[in-house]
Amino acid sequence: MTLPELYVTLLIAGTVLLASIAAARTAHRVGLPSLLLFLAVGIVAGEDGLGLRFDDAQLAQALGTAALALILVEGGLTTQWGDVRRLVAPAGVLATVGVFLSVLVTAAGAHWLLGLDWNVALLLGAIVSSTDSAAVFSVLRALPLPRRLTGLVEAESGFNDAPTIILVLVFSTTSDAPAIGALFGNLLFQLAAGGLLGVLTGLLGAVALRHIALPATGLYPLATVGFGIIAFAAAGAVGASGIIAAYLSGLVLGNSQLPHRAATRSFAEGTGWLAQIGLFVMLGLLVDPSELPGAILPALVVGLVLLLAARPVSVLLCLLPFRIPLRQQAFISWAGLRGAVPIVLTTFPVVEDVPHAREILNIVFVLVALFTLLQGPTLPAVARRLGLVRTDALREIQVEAAPLDVLDADLLTVSIPEGSRLHGVAVFELRLPSPTVVTLIVRDGATLVPDRGTVLRAGDELLLIATPETREDTERRLRAIGRRGKLARWLGEHGAPEPEGTSTGR
For the residues 128-155, what does the mean pLDDT come to? 73
At residue 440, φ and ψ (nearest 5 deg) are -160, 145
Instruction: Using pLDDT thresholds of 50, 70 and 90, give the confidence band for residue 503.
Output: very low
Instruction: Using pLDDT thresholds of 50, 70 and 90, give the confidence band for residue 48.
Output: low
Residue 506 has pLDDT above 50, yes or no: no
Give the residue ranges of DSSP H helices in 175-295.
180-211, 219-237, 242-254, 261-286
Residue 392 has pLDDT above 50, yes or no: no
For the residues 76-98, what does the mean pLDDT come to? 83
Listed ranges 1-15, 233-247, 386-400, 403-417; the one with the highest mean pLDDT: 233-247
> For the packed helices 34-45 and 3-30, what is the interaxial angle rounded to 10 degrees?
150
Rounded Cα–Cα distance for residues 308 and 486 (Å): 48
Q: What is the mean pLDDT of the chain?
A: 82
Q: What percent of the chain lies above the pLDDT cut of 70?
A: 87
Question: At residue 353, what is the residue type?
Answer: D
Q: What is the tens place of the pLDDT at every residue in 218-257?
A: 788 889 999 999 999 999 899 888 888 998 999 899 888 7
Rounded Cα–Cα distance for residues 47 and 52 (Å): 5
At residue 356, φ and ψ (nearest 5 deg) are 65, 20
Does 312 sit behind a cis peptide bond, omega within 30 degrees of 0 on the bond before it? no
Q: CB count, 10 Å around CB of 333?
A: 18
Residue 276 has pLDDT above 90, yes or no: no
pLDDT at 30: 62
- 96's CB contacts (< 8 A; 6+ apart) are 159, 160, 163, 187, 191
Residue 39 has pLDDT above 80, yes or no: no
Q: Are strands 437-443 and 461-466 parallel, antiparallel or unpaired?
A: antiparallel
Rounded Cα–Cα distance for residues 344 and 136 (Å): 17
- Residue pair 436/466 in contact (Cβ under 8 Å)? The answer is yes
Question: At residue 232, what is the residue type?
Answer: F
DSSP state of 455: B
Domains of the chain: 3-385 (1.20.1530.20), 394-500 (3.30.70.1450)
Residue 201 has pLDDT above 90, yes or no: yes
DSSP string, 38-62: HHHHHHHHSTTTT------HHHHHH
User: What's the pTM?
Assistant: 0.73
Rounded Cα–Cα distance for residues 486 and 490 (Å): 9
